[in-house]
Amino acid sequence: MNDLKQAIKQKARQLGFILAGVTSSEPPADYPIFESWLNAGMHGTMHYLAEEKNRARRSDAKLILPECKSILVLGIPYSAPASGQIASYAVGNDYHDVLPQRMRDLVDFIEQQLGHPVPNRYYTDSGPILERELGQRAGLGWIGKNTCLINPRAGSTFFLAEILLGIDLEPDEPFATDHCGSCTRCLDACPTHCILPGRVLDARRCISYLTIELKDDIPEDLRPLMQDWVFGCDICQQVCPWNRFAQPADSAFEPPIPLRVRTSDLLLKPQEFNQIFKNSPIKRPKRRGYLRNIAVATGNTGSREDLPMLNQAVDDADPMVKRHAQWAMDQINGRTNHE
């Protein structure tokens, strides 16, 4: 089976996966940590993480695929963090749309090599599994202080994907060393202080959570700390010294034209929003969330020139957009009245 494993890794590289490793189907040792995180409420309103069925499945891959004997863990690079209002992973096509087909192609290759069907399930940030621990167990890297999986030759700017397989493959050696050392750049740089000691992230304060997963009003005390981010946040990756080794993005995640946020996006109609972002991760918070985020960013960094646009947004049909646009106007007026 070792020859098969090497052939699988070679095929994975041909499909764009710069990282590939194998681990066993053993239950994750860090599952109690995940349970403690949930019990502390740090998942915020991401209730799907706490559903009993999914909690159980995260504790044992065999509850997802009873025949599971091995787990193939893959990494594929996206654009390195750069200054901008949109997290670098979201500037190209939605990885949920791109990666499943490549994993399907890899499963097809495995079945062709063996000459028979293989029980399988595959995910990319979409299934009830603890991806980062699996990545560490498969030798892809270590879990950094910013809670990202970090590879010494690729940094942390890669998507993870996993294929549960009903065949025995020799597990790779886990990544045993921690290369964060005494560095605390990510903790020091986080404007909302959501990164806690012990490699714990309080999602309720994370800008990525606030701009993507939170479907309600953003807490007023956190709005001024969000700077100009409108979808996700790269700060903890921007300051990580290991990302000087970030690999070039796979072509699927390099946009044909630069994706730019404009204050005029506050006036996007629903059909316009859906058309512009139909292949983008930015569709996840939907129009109301995206406009809410633009309003907050404009309130933090805008000027009087933005007031007419915000004034129109105050008349938006969505009450949440109205409230955040009004807040932004109040922030700008408060600043400019003291200048």
Report the catalytic residues.
125
Least Cα distance to 25 among 62, 75, 55, 58 occurs for 62
- Report yes or no: 89 and 79 within 8 Å, Cβ to Cβ: yes
> What is the C-alpha to C-alpha distance for residues 153 and 77, in angstroms, rounded to an integer?
12
Q: What share of the chain is helix, strand, coil (3-state, %, to 5)?
A: 45, 10, 45
Nearest to 177 by CA among 146, 139, 147: 139
Question: Could you give the angle at the alpha carbon of 143 between the alpha carbons of 58 and 74, nearest 5°?
Answer: 65
Asked whether the beta carbons of 84 and 90 are under 8 A apart, the reply is no
Tokens of 58: 């995260």
